[in-house]
Structure 1
């Protein structure tokens, strides 16, 4: 409980204060999430190139932020492609077993964690300059989804949502999360004027669907690797991936929705 309250306070403060505190808080989550993902793979004797993956995650996250700040030419993002191919070259010198498996999971860590966090910048700079409203609104919608699902699932949950992967989730819990998320999205439209009502409600729907799918994907990952939690960094809450799995899955769909509509 204390960890959750303190974490929420730090998040809200960092997002609200300015773009650089926002940048730093999510940079930390980005790097910790990548490192945690690679550490989990050790359970299956997979040996991704952790140094390269962290470097790629840092560069991608930072480069997209600087492009949004007009401090870096967007064409320089094309360098990400040849840099990715360094994984093939460096693997020849690492002399590890199953080199292409290691390469694949090195890249997967960047795609699964760093790409969504990098795309988050497009949400923060949706109007051309940094605004905390879309990002903080996103976090509030995610928290509403989790809270609504927990309350409804605990009190009314009977029908399993996806028992093979996550036995604790129910359709009733999911419905409760949808209702509370839509309600919060409606309320946000009155106070956070950067987005229109239909955009807040669209974000709420996307989070309700893809947020829970992100949770299920991470549960599938843990089942595949034979672990209970992704980490122990957050006492009582598991690891970074445990807490932000919904966010990672929802961000690409939200950014696409807001950019198109």
Structure 2
């Protein structure tokens, strides 16, 4: 099977599964938690490529608790207890890379688990009742932004955006993605996706910028580790981090916009 066909089949299955799963809050919670765990294992391999030690199980345990504490605030005390135990355990660590170990653990929790846990708060941003439509729309914006950047870059790309990190990204692709993702947001607003036209267009611009930054950050991690893909779990697409790099940065920005900026702007 050709690489192009693998990409098409895997991409179709990935999008279909994700859109189906987020229709229910509990299935969305479970899937994104599983994604966070798998992404952490991939991140461990990226660290190991740079000869950086990584504490897998402490990271996953702290990550799961952080993930659940974002959604169920009543268990935050468990997270604080775990953090205390974790930092006390570092006192008995005999090697000289304690700061690196702790940094890797906290980085993983902040970079992977906390952003993915926002899938539920984003879906519940209005009246605290989970509504999958807003997530549908936001995921469509993310995927559209990636696609528009690729297409515009291929057709018009001349000037490198950040050649040191991602040689294939161009300013033309970036600007094209912003314009066309804003248009995508407007189209979403015409099809019953809850928010107003101006809000979806603002989110379109935010998505194109944030998605690109998320992609560049993941590219930087991989380039420093001298690897092409974060994993091989998705044929033709690489690993979990390769597919969720944009979401990891977009979800926190969406959360801030919907819960803090939207009430102020009051469009």
**TM-score by structure 2 length?**
0.89
Distance 1:86 1:107 in 2: 14
Distance 1:170 1:122 in 2: 34
**Match of residue 17, structure 2, among 4, 10, 13:** 10
- Distance apart, 1:228 and its partner CA: 1.7
**Match of residue 61, structure 1, among 63, 67, 70:** 67
Structure 2 residues without counterparts, runs of 5 or longer: 1-7, 263-267
Identify the structure with bigger relative contact order (alpha carbons < 8 Å, sequence gap 6+).
2
Deviation digits for residues 10-66 of structure 1 (CA, Å, limit 9, x no counterpart): 1111112x111211221111111112112211112222211011112212222323x
Q: Which residue of the partner structure matches residue 100 of structure 2?
A: 101
- Asked if residue 25 in structure 1 is aligned to residue 24 in structure 2, the reply is no
- Distance apart, 1:119 and its partner CA: 2.3
8 Å contact from structure 2 (residues 28, 120) kept in 1: no
Q: How does 1:1-261 map to 2 (within 5 A)?
A: 1-16=8-23, 18-65=24-71, 67=72, 74-93=73-92, 95-127=94-126, 128-260=128-260, 261=262
8 Å contact from structure 1 (residues 30, 114) kept in 2: yes
- Distance apart, 1:75 and its partner CA: 4.8
Distance 1:84 1:204 in 2: 37
8 Å contact from structure 1 (residues 38, 109) kept in 2: no
Distance 1:6 1:22 in 2: 16
- Distance apart, 1:239 and its partner CA: 0.9
Structure 1 residues without counterparts, runs of 5 or longer: 68-73
Assess, with a 3 A threshold, how the Cα gap between structure 1 residues 192 and 25 changes in structure 2: closer, same or farther: farther
8 Å contact from structure 1 (residues 34, 57) kept in 2: no
Deviation digits for residues 219-249 of structure 1 (CA, Å, limit 9, x no counterpart): 1111222222111111111111111111111
Distance 1:251 1:76 in 2: 22
**TM-score by structure 1 length?**
0.91
Q: What is the aligned residue count?
A: 253
Give the ranges of 4+ consecutive aligned residues of structure 1 lying more than 4 Å apart after TM superposition: 92-97
